[in-house]
A and B are shown apart, each in its own frame.
Chain A
């Protein structure tokens, strides 16, 4: 073998020696979660039986929520559509709705949300109240590019959901967050922590229950998620009304260093689409939502658009900083004008301090806990 051949072989073998285990291990974890069609079904059945909280993986989240929604299609009269920024909205916050479901999904985009609003009005005859979350501080928010008209569809319709292909799964195994997660898993294994022991039993016991003791009072909990195994015993997951039980997530402290928080979140990469679009939301997206609102009104219903709460005083800070002031002011003003023009009930909760939310109600800059939403949605309850 020549020196060059030996050299080439060493480079390739070294790369393979590092990358192959990552691909294989992450694939094993991922494939179980992403392609196991039984998991969301099992989770749904278990929740139907127990009315408890279930943890499903991000890959199964849509299927799981859609299964729940399909079962209750004929009884849903209030529906939340949005991204994770609306995930903690609970039925009790809306008032006397007989059938409420929070169909917010992680990383959900405005284009799909608009499509879902359109579908919901057609496919759910009883829907009278649609609560739609519009984000401007996330990658998939109101600044999406291109044609965002309703023909893009949504996630409520089966045909619009793209199946997770083997290539998608393989590519995902090499993403940085998955590698970091695997590193955590390996560390846990090295230390002999229980999460990994439980993982080894997955093949025999697909549904793992961390035990009632781990859940908040009066809330049974069951885990159908393997990708989130390092958060076991936290009882994270979806309640029967679709809202997220975020009790175990780390909240900010009441006496948090606000200056530090402001400095951190003033430079958040979620604002990049806003900077690129110079604060102008996608017109077709707004037109599509306005059309849905008019149709719902014709059916004696109402669309409520919520600009999700952000960390107290963060919007104020962004509106003060020269680098963001103009665009933040513009997007909020444009959305307010649009809502007024179309007769849409808009709750701009971005400045959450105006609603009485405190820093301790937040998990991060754009994710508020239920205590904040309870205050924000008070006007709907009345």
Chain B
């Protein structure tokens, strides 16, 4: 089930909330069980068969965690390490089969000239998220943290529906205490108002803004005329995709935070105006923040981080980002995108090493900030072209057109009407670059779990949310507009005849 469906908005969410708070008054365990069951239903809505996979993964990991806990309690470190190695390998094998088997066989066929049939595997939704969540838990357990939780809490932690399909990647230390807090199980109007607002903003972003600008993406990236794109065509497509991705992900994060806040629980902040970043390092602290955190804590640090010299640090950075790229999808373009960002990060770190900020130096000027922000955004846009392109040839063609290496023709080979295209891009870019984000607008209530410096940043006072009549009307209107645009087609109404 997706957040932007009528079924979720008008049936699943209200029913889940109502029953959760009702059961919470009777017995908290029942309420937790209900939430876990609802999360399974949420997941199974897409394909009931994969509920078995999710349940199996949870059960197996819970049993492995129990065995790991026993081994550590008995100070049997060798078996504990072996158990952890097996558990991580099993999780990665599951992920590998569903996500990368076809990619692996296709590459093997290409390299070895073998004619093996590609396995027809449907990628289960959210498998990366529930796998990573559980790997982090097992690793922490093996490090000696006394964190073996009751089964129902563990099930809820893995399946908790606001995060299940597209993140954020939850950490047990953030969530488990909330599952046991008395206040979670009581309805609070202040949480309902904040959750509803954040959810409505997210829904509007997704349905109106992200889906609105998406119409300019496929004509550029999927056209057979990719080699003949004009300079404005290529820029329009690249910027439209940059914005589609931004508003889509931002919207999903908002809706996840909103739904969770209504349930009385805070999930980690995952998105914080990344296009306002003034460096690539900062970009990755603002974009998919929980993935960056996971990769840092469970990949970059175990690889050695920056503890073994500069060269090793850059190798570790590259490896982490390449694996992070592959995590996004099974294609070489994702690997290249990861490598590109790895290279960006290496350059950024090298620059900071060469030009460290002077103690007591003045803050960068406005012009300096604009330059840094523009340069960062440009690097990110180039990365998104590689990320979205069908193949390397298409990416190269689009980038060449963007660089003006295919001439400076100003027309459009994909039939763009420039007033509409430029209107959308300018308006959305202005929001992404200048406007405060949902977390800043809602700063007084802090709906998501955030660390500094993002936890306390707030919008200008006149843009800050407060529960008054004008805001209620505005949010109500946004919500209604979004709902009425969820489905642009009626299956029961003629369009032509």
Contacts and interface: CB of A to CB of B under 8 A. Distances in A.
Contact of A11 (B222, B228, B475, B483): B475
A15 B483 contact: yes
Interface string B445-462: 000000000000000000
Contacts of A12: 196, 476
Interface stretch (A63-71, A170-178, A348-356): A170-178
B174 to A, nearest CB: 24
B359 interface: no
Interface string A113-128: 0000000000000000
Given A171-B487, A323-B413, A59 B477 contact: no
A176 B487 contact: yes
Interface string A190-214: 0000000000000000000000000
Contact of B491 (A107, A181, A244): A107
Interface residues of B, number: 47
Interface in A211-229: 227-228
B74 interface: no
Contact of B224 (A14, A57, A107, A325): A325
Nearest to B219: A323
Contact of B467 (A4, A19, A177, A178): A4
Contact of A4 (B193, B489, B494): B193
A4 B447 CA distance: 14
A276 B417 CA distance: 21
A267 B233 CA distance: 14
A87 interface: yes
A8 interface: yes
Interface residues of A, number: 64
Given A4-B193, A322-B228, A11 B497 contact: no
Nearest to B475: A11
B490 interface: yes
Contacts of B196: 8, 11-12
Interface string B430-470: 00000000000000000000000000000000000001110
A327 B218 CA distance: 14
Contacts, number: 153
Interface in A4-42: 4-8, 10-12, 14-15, 18-19, 22, 30, 33-34
A58 B492 contact: yes
A10 B492 contact: no
Contacts of B494: 58, 106, 228
Nearest to B465: A7
A58 B493 contact: yes
Interface string A228-257: 100000001000000010100100000000
B415 A323 contact: yes
Main secondary structure of the interface of A (DSSP, over half): helix
A2 interface: yes
A10 B225 contact: no
A275 interface: yes
B193 A14 contact: no
A363 B219 CA distance: 26
A260 to B, nearest CB: 12
Given A4-B189, A367-B496, A178 B476 contact: no
A107 B196 CA distance: 37
Interface in A255-281: 263, 266-267, 272, 275-276, 278-279
B109 interface: no
B228 A246 contact: no
Contact of A275 (B223, B472, B483): B223
A336 interface: no
A266 B415 contact: yes
A93 interface: no
Given A8-B192, A8-B193, A87 B497 contact: yes
A326 interface: yes
A12 B477 CA distance: 10
Contact of A14 (B194, B480, B484, B492): B480
A172 B413 CA distance: 37
B479 interface: yes
Nearest to A170: B6
Interface string B1-35: 00000110000000000000000000000000000
Given A14-B476, A321-B413, A323-B414, A178 B490 contact: yes
B469 A174 contact: no
Contacts of A341: none
B410 interface: no
Nearest to B194: A4
B351 interface: no
Interface in A305-350: 321-327
Contacts of A171: 6-7, 487
B145 interface: no
Interface string A363-377: 110110000000000
Contacts of A164: 492
A106 B493 CA distance: 9
B471 A7 contact: yes
A14 B493 contact: no
Contacts of A322: 223-225, 228, 413
A168 interface: yes
B308 to A, nearest CB: 47
A88 to B, nearest CB: 9
A84 interface: yes
B488 interface: yes
B200 interface: yes
Nearest to A181: B493
Interface in B211-227: 218-219, 222-225
A244 B497 contact: yes
Contacts of B468: 3, 7
B467 A6 contact: yes
Interface in A52-94: 57-59, 84, 87
B230 to A, nearest CB: 10
5 contacts: A2-B190, A34-B492, A59-B492, A171-B7, A172-B492
Given A15-B483, A175-B489, A323-B415, 16 more contacts: A4-B194, A7-B472, A8-B467, A11-B196, A14-B473, A15-B480, A19-B484, A22-B484, A106-B496, A172-B490, A176-B484, A179-B484, A275-B219, A321-B413, A322-B225, A363-B496
Interface of A: 2-8, 10-12, 14-15, 18-19, 22, 30, 33-34, 57-59, 84, 87, 106-107, 164, 167-172, 174-179, 181, 227-228, 236, 244, 246, 249, 263, 266-267, 272, 275-276, 278-279, 321-327, 363-364, 366-367
Closest CB pairs A-B (n = 3): A322-B225, A14-B476, A7-B467
